[in-house]
Structure 1
Amino acid sequence: MEFQAVFNEFWEAVLKSVKNRTFAKLTLAKTIGDTELKNIYVRPVLLENNEMKMSVIARYKTEEVESFHSLEETFFVLAPYMNNPFLTALLFTTEHDLTFKLNKKRVGSIVEQAPTFKNASDVILEMKEKGL
């Protein structure tokens, strides 16, 4: 599909923001029609052994389901949801916000905007402090 190359580019920005400790959060939004699944939120979590995992919270109409994955696995968890049912992925960092969008023809684009968050995720800040 056409949009996958652009989504891969977007994901590279996600990886870079985690590596550079500027990542705040990631959200999949704007569904196609009225779907059970409303949003997916991604945030880093630090486990007791100081291992970072990504918390993936799928918000449905009636419940939320949380799962934990490595950063690499998170791409494979999220990618199938792009274009079915989500048309937008938003990356919030301390440097800028990036929005991956699919238009009606399912062509992907990335839009950069001023940052919404002044600080990185609490977990990213904690990892900085611990030198992880």
Structure 2
Amino acid sequence: MSYQEVFILFWDQVKESVQEKRFAKLTMAKTIGKPDLKNIFLRPIYSDDGFKVLLKLRYRSKETEDIEETLTLEAAFSVLKPHLKKSFLSVLLFTTTKDVTFKINKKGMGSITESSPTFFEVTQAEKD
């Protein structure tokens, strides 16, 4: 399966973890080359008016200030998707029941692996 198709399956697990209140964090890592953008993080914000995420773009250079923005999960998906294969080869979903890793190999194929959880409780991001 192409990495785009596998990423949709991975994203389904992200949405499921949010619905079940197990979503702890999402990280885009393993950059291609040495781009200025080092990581992208999503942290949960559960509230009475719905679920949002704190999106953080972390840069390598000290001169470039990190960017933080509160978004819906759908809006965050739109921000993350263009960075796949262009800037990042892996995305890690941390939930309270398992860690799920999405990877793109050299041939452009996607894969999903699961492992024991890193986080055992959800720590919410601080709201603006």
Q: TM-score range by the shorter chain?
A: 0.7 to 0.9
Corresponding residue number in structure 2 for 1:28: 28
* Distance (Å, rounded) in 2 between the aligned partners of 1:8 and 1:97: 17
What SS does the corresponding residue of 1:104 show, helix, strand or coil? coil
When the two chains are superposed, the root-mean-square deviation of aligned CA atoms in Å is 1.7
- On the 8 A contact 1:24/1:43 being kept in 2, the answer is yes
CA drift at 1:50: 4.0
TM-score by length of 1: 0.85
Corresponding residue number in structure 2 for 1:55: 54
- On the 8 A contact 2:46/2:124 being kept in 1, the answer is no
CA drift at 1:51: 4.1
1:97 aligns with 2:103: no
TM-score by length of 2: 0.88
* Distance (Å, rounded) in 2 between the aligned partners of 1:112 and 1:46: 24
* Distance (Å, rounded) in 1 between the aligned partners of 2:124 and 2:71: 18
Stretch moving more, 72-81 or 4-13:
72-81
Q: Alignment length, in residue pairs?
A: 122
What SS does the corresponding residue of 2:89 show, helix, strand or coil? strand
- On the 8 A contact 1:37/1:59 being kept in 2, the answer is yes
* Distance (Å, rounded) in 1 between the aligned partners of 2:41 and 2:124: 15
* Distance (Å, rounded) in 1 between the aligned partners of 2:43 and 2:92: 12
* Distance (Å, rounded) in 1 between the aligned partners of 2:109 and 2:25: 24
**Percent sequence identity over aligned pairs:** 47
Corresponding residue number in structure 2 for 1:80: 82
Corresponding residue number in structure 1 for 2:116: 114
CA drift at 1:122: 3.1
More helix by share: 1
- On the 8 A contact 1:57/1:66 being kept in 2, the answer is yes
For structure 2, the 5+ residue unaligned runs are none
